[in-house]
Amino acid sequence: MNIRTTLAFAVLFFVGFGTLTQAQNLKIGVVNYEKIVEELPETKEVRLQLEAFEKSLQDTLNMYQQTLTTEVEAFQAQQDMMTAEGKKQKQEELQNQQQQLVMFRQSANMRLQQKQRELLQPILQKIEAAIAKLAKEEGLDLVLNSGGASSMVLHAAEKIDYTFRVIDGLKRQ
């Protein structure tokens, strides 16, 4: 081996060893973010508000749907007595109402999602602040989510799971 190759291996060894040493000093904790969200009393209130908002939107949608259904049935019953021009005009009117119904449904879905974000944002900020505070108190370098579909942890020892400490801290506020 020439001197350059030996030097390159030495540099890689020390860089790799340094990284390994830093990783050994890394303090990691895990929390189940979804469990924390579910345990908060504010979440239950948000759920009730969202259910009421969704019911209001659904009731309005049902009313529009019923109105359209009634008008379609009336048109079908009377179309044989209508002129060609009157029939065409009524069909266009019903198609417009159908399009408005589809647009309202899409708008309602977007409004529901927006309302959910709006109501959950303060809760999520509160949780993130509590996790940051606990991480600082415990000297944690990294906090990972261990629960739900967005879990980044395949295994975690109980001694590094801080979920209940975060919930406890939030309940004391």
- Identify the domain containing residue 90 by its residue range: 3-172
Q: How many domains does the chain have?
A: 1
Residue 5, pLDDT above cutoff 70: no
CB 141 within 8 A of CB 28: yes
Asked if pLDDT for residue 143 goes beyond 90, the answer is no
Please check whether residue 71 is in contact with residue 100, taking contact to mean a CB–CB distance below 8 angstroms.
no
List the CATH number of the domain containing 137. Answer: 3.30.910.20
3-state secondary structure of 162: coil
Residue 149 scores a pLDDT above 60? yes
The mean of the pLDDT values for the chain is 84
pLDDT tens figures, 18-74:
444 445 678 888 898 899 999 999 999 999 999 999 999 999 999 999 999 999 999
